[in-house]
Structure 1
Amino acid sequence: MRTDPATTHPPTAIPTWNVGDVTVHRIEETPLPPDTGPWLLPDATPEVVTGHDWLRPHFADDDGVLHLDSHSFALTSGGLRVLVDTGIGNGKKRANPAWHDLDTDYLLHLTAAGFPPESVDLVILTHLHADHVGWNTREVDGSWLPTFPNARYVTSRTEREFWAGYDMEEAREQMFQDSVIPVEEAGLLDLVDVPAAGAGIAPNLRLLPTPGHTPGHIAVELTSRGRTALITGDCIHHPVQLAHPAIGACVDIDPERSEATRRTLLASLADTDTLLLGTHFAPPTAGRVVLHDGAYRLSPVSADPK
């Protein structure tokens, strides 16, 4: 029986950022292997990456290899304990070797941040890809059960309805069977209409439509006491896309729309105080978007340990 991750290496510090009165915690799952970048963002070649000194050392190495990560963000707002995206998950059978049958300390990290699974009230899913829904469930006595039994799981109606009509390959069907369907069958998944202006989902939290990677993809905006943060999901996978917004992911459903979304979003964030929190950005994970050489760069904002 697989239930919780290994507990042999308890975390000593959880990275956090303060946004007004709200503290955002980065919940580590796993770094992604070096070959993730060439597969995911094939146009981010070593020549392109090494042309931007600001990407090193945090977001790429000297040879132009991208650093990518899998993690979630947890926060408390208006008395609600919120988790944004749930990573890859443990023990999931996946076609991608980097995601297959993981055994990480994710739940230990989440609990150390003060969010034991039973305490979570709201799980926001930016989209329904395998590396964003994995910890929706965990295996108990051979069955996949909701990891957060007291939570309302939320995604956009457009997202769920798109996949309901999609001719899924075997690997994606497997992901839905072990990580989405059990939440639906438990009556915990809510579908939200997200108009162009966004949809308030909880105190201080708004869902923003950011389509292209998937048709119903959403980003999450947090505001508190005049401060703002935005959690990207996969509308931006890596900071190199700030310098080159035309670089898209190989798995974008609509590459042209994905680029248009990214350009609009970056233009709205440039030279503002909004904290950008990248769902796949390697540490330091957060930063502010700055105009640079006709495009943008990320000015990192270091986290404070919990």
Structure 2
Amino acid sequence: MTEITTTETTTTSEHLTFGEVTVSRAVESVGSIGMVPNQFFPGTDPAAWDGHESELRPFHLEEDGATTMESTARVAMQTWILRSGGRTILVDACVGNDKDRPDVPSWSRLQTAYLEHLAAAGVAPESVDVVVNTHLHADHVGWNTRLVDGAWVPTFPNAEYLMPAEDLAFWDPAHDNRTVMGPGAHGVWADSIAPVLAAGQATAWSGSHRIDDALTLEAAPGHTPGASILRLASGDDEVLFVGDTLHSPAQVVDAHTSSCFDEDPVQSDRTRDRLFTEAAARGLLLFAAHFAGHGGFRVEKTGDGFRIVEWAGLTAI
């Protein structure tokens, strides 16, 4: 088992190598999401938190409460950087600068050093070949675009943006679908999705989509109608980037509790159980979109549930 150690927060971690693919990350921000477990995960089992403090603190739960159930969850806004087959692939695009997010004031009008953090990882916007939006929530598409002379333009001018077709249909304002994210979610379309569509840089996909010989997108609905995971299989290695399938290690123990942001909690539970079952049986590393700390983890089956048995070797944030 990899020992968990506390390190200083860094803008990017060192890289890991899986077969012929290298993985690193650029961090936009890391800190409290401002919600205690019962708010973030309605109906969660307190035993999944109170009995697992060593897995949660300091990287996934703040020290701002007397107990785990009184503490707020800690999350990272980050982009996974994959270099595969001579190309640079970004997985998820964080919150973004200058965006108006009235439903989430802490995400409004940000001025972060995200692009500088990408540069520190050796990534210039012009060098990005593919941007994967695992789903189309505001905190996964924000850096799809940036504000230039008062207009939203694609941040990565040479990239193909891969977007789930089901999410494109769900958030298209013309369809006026109701969402647990509230009416403000539809504003994301105008500043972070429509400009990419207008530029002809978006590719809609459904079911599965092969990016290259090592990388394949797969549908994993529940969090959103088009939520997806990215499977990396290269050489003898295989890992899964599971997006927002889960937001806390407590959901490994309590796999049938969904976050308050899941559109279909029943389907989300099924997706989590399916992924954990495969990962436990095959020893796969899982990388969640918002996990701070070491980012990736392995699970094993225990009784009717699962537990984390190893963390990835990335520098903790």
TM-score (norm 1): 0.89
| Range that drifts further, 144-153 or 71-80 | 71-80
The answer to whether 1:126 aligns with 2:134 is yes
Report the secondary structure of 1:55's partner residue. helix
Query: Cα RMSD between the aligned structures?
Result: 2.1
Report the secondary structure of 2:282's partner residue. coil
Gaps of 5+ in 2: 1-9
Report the secondary structure of 1:15's partner residue. coil
Report the secondary structure of 1:49's partner residue. helix
Q: Any idea what the Cα deviations from partners look like across 1:68-93, whole Å, max 9, x if unmatched? A: 11111011111221000000011111
Alignment match, 1:26: 25
Alignment match, 2:50: 50
The answer to whether 1:186 aligns with 2:196 is no
Judged with a 3 Å threshold, the aligned counterparts in structure 2 of structure 1 residues 250 and 87 are, in CA distance, closer, same or farther, namely same
What is the distance in 2 between the residues matched to 1:300 and 1:281? Answer: 11
Which of 207, 226, 234 is the matching residue for 1:224?
234
Alignment match, 1:283: 293
Alignment match, 1:98: 106
Q: Any idea what the Cα deviations from partners look like across 1:29-88, whole Å, max 9, x if unmatched? A: 111425245443233476641221442323235631332111110111112210000000
Q: How does 1:34-113 map to 2 (within 5 A)?
A: 34-38=33-37, 39-44=39-44, 48-57=48-57, 58-61=59-62, 63-64=67-68, 65=71, 66-94=73-101, 95-113=103-121
Judged with a 3 Å threshold, the aligned counterparts in structure 2 of structure 1 residues 112 and 265 are, in CA distance, closer, same or farther, namely same
Shift in Å at residue 207 of structure 1?
A: 0.7
User: Percent same amino acid at aligned positions?
Assistant: 36
What is the distance in 2 between the residues matched to 1:13 and 1:87? Answer: 14
What is the distance in 2 between the residues matched to 1:15 and 1:98? Answer: 28
Judged with a 3 Å threshold, the aligned counterparts in structure 2 of structure 1 residues 89 and 61 are, in CA distance, closer, same or farther, namely closer
The answer to whether 1:172 aligns with 2:185 is yes
Which of 262, 267, 275 is the matching residue for 1:257?
267
Report the secondary structure of 1:115's partner residue. coil
Alignment match, 1:156: 164
Which residue type is aligned with residue 72 of structure 1? T
TM-score (norm 2): 0.86
Gaps of 5+ in 1: 1-10
Shift in Å at residue 293 of structure 1?
A: 4.8
Q: Any idea what the Cα deviations from partners look like across 1:139-159, whole Å, max 9, x if unmatched? A: 111111100010000012222
Which residue type is aligned with residue 195 of structure 2? P
What is the distance in 1 between the residues matched to 2:276 and 2:198? Answer: 38
Judged with a 3 Å threshold, the aligned counterparts in structure 2 of structure 1 residues 16 and 157 are, in CA distance, closer, same or farther, namely same
Which residue type is aligned with residue 20 of structure 1? G
Which residue type is aligned with residue 118 of structure 1? E
Report the secondary structure of 1:23's partner residue. strand
Shift in Å at residue 239 of structure 1?
A: 1.4
Which residue type is aligned with residue 162 of structure 1? F
